[in-house]
Amino acid sequence: IERIDPAKDVDGFHPVNVGRLSLGLPALEPCTPRGCVILAQSVRQDLTGLHAVIVGRSNIVGKPMAQMLLAENCTVTIAHSRTRDLAAMCRQADILVAAVGRPEMIKGDWIKPGAIVLDVGINRIPREDGSGKSRLVGDVAYAEAAEVASAITPVPGGVGPMTIAGLLRNTVIAAAR
């Protein structure tokens, strides 16, 4: 990735862009986390003071998501599949970002009433009809969580289109520079 010109790194993964993001400097940002911030702000424009819990610590989503939410004045907790009492941690979240890579791991009773839930997961699981075909699900048990959350992204069709929008955003920024 170091061979890519950081000014043309529309994915936002080059170490220069990662470093600039962590320092709060202008950078081409990773597309999925930027899309998640935009989605959260579409529900609540000012995220100041909200507690965001990110379940997942990847360099592609978890860590940059934390940086971007800190820049929006959120209090941020990064959790993962080995966090002790993960359910209790999730119940504290005003904004819950699920990026752990486990199908429907986060259950409805893990969601704080009124929370904004951003499901970044995309997992294939077998259909229950015995057809041998698969279906896509997120990291959140959608039907259960939707009963509790104030807003929740579906899988598919939620965060994915925002990732594409983020990629196009970065492309325009890079071209303009």
Share of the chain above pLDDT 70, in %: 100
Residue 42 C-alpha from the chain's centroid: 14
pLDDT digits (tens, 9 = 90+) for 69-114: 999 999 999 999 999 999 999 999 999 999 999 999 999 999 999 9
Question: Contact at 8 Å (CB) between 33 and 58?
Answer: no
What's the pLDDT tens digit per position in 23-80?
A: 999 999 999 999 999 999 999 999 999 999 999 999 999 999 999 999 999 999 999 9
Q: How confident is the model at residue 1 (pLDDT cuts 50, 70, 90)?
A: confident
The three-class DSSP label of residue 119 is: strand
**Per-residue model confidence as pLDDT tens digits over 148-164:** 999 999 999 999 999 99
Number of helical H runs and strand E runs in the chain? 6, 7
160-173 pLDDT, tens digit each: 999 999 999 999 99
Q: What one-letter code names the amino acid at 125?
A: I
Query: Tens digit of pLDDT for each residue in 4-20?
Result: 999 999 999 999 999 99
DSSP state of 140: B
Determine how β-strand 123-126 pairs with β-strand 134-137. Answer: antiparallel
Helix, strand, or coil (residue 23)? helix
- For 89, counting Cβ atoms within 10 Å of its Cβ (0-12 exposed, 13-18 middle, 19+ buried), the class is middle
Please count the CA atoms within 13 angstroms of the CA of 66 that sit on its side-chain side. Answer: 19
User: Of 13, 52, 24, which is closest to residue 166 (Cα–Cα)?
Assistant: 13
pLDDT at 132 over 90: no
130 pLDDT exceeds 90?
A: no
* Amino acid occupying residue 10: V
